[in-house]
Structure 1
Amino acid sequence: MAKRTLPLGKVSTLIEPGPVVLLSTAHRGERDVMTQSWHVMLEFEPPLIGCVISDRNRSFALLKASRECVINIPGVELGEAVARCGNRSGRQLDKFAACGLTPRPAREVGAPLIDECFANLECRVVDTRLVPSYGFFVLQVLHAWVDPAVKDPRTLHHRGRGRFMVAGETIRLRSRAR
């Protein structure tokens, strides 16, 4: 097989970590939602998630101040709303309204759940040591919600520059993990 060199700026298109999410934040009467795709599971019990958020985003300031958020996981049917949300700033408009997203009160945190998403993870910031260098927050999931009617969700995965891949068929392979 003949391979060619890939520009280093395109490596992210090969190793994108997981489904695109909508990260909601709130602090002192302000709220925001951002499209986010740079996150990773760090631990399973308790669940810890690492995520990268640019300090240029309004959500960065709200997360840093409140130290809590909700990771809302949309299905492919919310693709247009996800793209609209990712291409707008919440500094001048209410992105929930502009993107057709319904905020709902969370149980453990002040940030809102997004009703249209099939899953919502209420999180608290537990480590900010890598925020100054990398914008990397470590979040602990405090409460998780999932729509039991959604059996095999089709999630979006960002491939760069407006291109998304949709999670496909589920297969089973031998595994010792339960």
Structure 2
Amino acid sequence: MKEMPASHAYRLLEPGPIVLVTTAQNGKANVMTMGFHMMVQHAPPLIGCVIGPWDHSYRALCESRECVIAIPTVDLARTVVDIGNCSGDKVDKFEKFGLSPLSAQDVGPPLIGECLANIECRIADDTMVETYSLFLLEALRIWIDSDRKERRTLHHKGDGSFTVDGEVVDLRERMVKWRQLPD
């Protein structure tokens, strides 16, 4: 075994796929790339995510208390990285990257038409924002493009490289303890 810096733990434990987060402020939609997020609980469905004052979307999220978490697939990899490399205070990212904003049902920020899925969210708890930039978001509604052929998601390794979802191992018949959880 070779030691690596403890500060690189995120490179090993990245909890989920890279996502895009949409917010809206003063009638203007923005989108950012986010890698630091995790499921916190099943019901109500809570998602923890780190969005800090260094992100242009931070102020819009704090003021509106709502956002959309959009899940892109591997065919959008370069766009996802490019979105993360510019700021919404200088550019309209929907226009620049040719993204289709779709109306959400319960929140103001738009869904992203090119993504596999979109989760409408509202802030459930912001008590950890000042200390950790950690928002707990409640998932209100999920939209999925069931006709989308590309379904593989991207997982950031923390150094500019990504792992792409691959083979699915189906062990549902063995997961007897978890059958009691709500669908």
TM-score class, shorter: over 0.9
Indicate conservation of the 8 Å contact 1:27/1:110, yes or no.
Answer: no
Give unmatched runs, 5+ long, in structure 1. Answer: none
- Structure 2 match to 1:144: 142
Give unmatched runs, 5+ long, in structure 2. Answer: none
Q: Per-residue displacement from partner, 1:3-61 (whole Å, max 9, x unpaired)? A: 01112232211111100000000022122100001111112122111101121111011
Q: Which residues in structure 2 correspond to 1:3-152 (within 5 Å)?
A: 3-150=1-148
Indicate conservation of the 8 Å contact 1:25/1:62, yes or no.
Answer: yes
CA distance in structure 2 between the partners assigned to 1:43 and 1:12 by the alignment:
20
CA distance in structure 1 between the partners assigned to 2:100 and 2:8 by the alignment:
34
Share of identical aligned residues, percent? 47
Q: In the comparison of the two structures, how many residue pairs are matched?
A: 176
Off by >3 Å, runs of 4+ in structure 1: none
CA distance in structure 1 between the partners assigned to 2:114 and 2:149 by the alignment:
15
Provide TM-score, normalisation by structure 2. Answer: 0.92
Q: Per-residue displacement from partner, 1:120-160 (whole Å, max 9, x unpaired)? A: 00001110000000110011111110111247820000112
CA distance in structure 2 between the partners assigned to 1:12 and 1:43 by the alignment:
20
**SS of alignment partner, residue 12 of structure 1:** helix
Indicate conservation of the 8 Å contact 1:70/1:113, yes or no.
Answer: yes
CA distance in structure 2 between the partners assigned to 1:101 and 1:81 by the alignment:
10
Indicate conservation of the 8 Å contact 1:49/1:139, yes or no.
Answer: yes
Provide TM-score, normalisation by structure 1. Answer: 0.94
CA distance in structure 1 between the partners assigned to 2:31 and 2:148 by the alignment:
23
CA distance in structure 2 between the partners assigned to 1:46 and 1:154 by the alignment:
26
